[in-house]
Amino acid sequence: MSLQDKEKWDSKYNCAEFITGKEPCKWLKKNATLLNGNGKALDIAAGEGRNSVFAASLGYEVICMDISEIGLGKAKTLAKEKNLDVTIISIDLDNTSLPENEYDLVICFNFLERKLFPEIKKTLKSNGILVYETFTVDYLKYSNFKKQWVLQQNELLKVFKDFRILRYQEVDEDPNGFASLIAQKS
């Protein structure tokens, strides 16, 4: 990302309300029974932190990463509202290296940077869980989204084929097209 990206996201989050709400993404909440709440979790491109705060409510020690300091400030506020704690890190995810065998859970919603796929694999501990959901090429039928920001059909399955796939879906319903994955590192 660039300074332009940071400014774009800071501008988007610079309002009183939480633009995506305070509740976690449906896919994360629906599959929470697969998450044991033990250890460290990383929320990549966390935005306003709704998924980070949910992971913290399950018992995880959460690192909440995003380029927008305004979004991260709202994440901290949301955590405080719910009497939870998350660690926030303002970072450019386009050129990020993640530590090896660090996290028991990695979550990523509505963000795609393919260079992070090997980093996600590296940073998850053995038996760690990945929860990933983002747009697919089907979304392009309903939006003016950039093609490089969407997954090809079955791309997540192919990228994480060395993981145990616990849940997977691809949805193409107006106005959305997205893929959702929950997988466990061997």
Q: How far from chain centre, in Å, is Cα 153?
A: 19
pLDDT at 89: 96
| pLDDT class of 15 with cuts at 50, 70, 90 | confident
Mean pLDDT (the chain) is 94
Residue 106, pLDDT > 80, answer yes
Residue 1, pLDDT > 60, answer no
pTM as predicted: 0.94
Whether residue 125 contacts residue 185, with contact meaning beta carbons closer than 8 Å, is answered with: yes
We report the CATH number of the domain holding residue 59 as 3.40.50.150
Beta bridge partners of 168: 181
User: The domain containing residue 125 runs over which residues?
Assistant: 3-184
* Structural domain count, the chain: 1
pLDDT at 94: 82
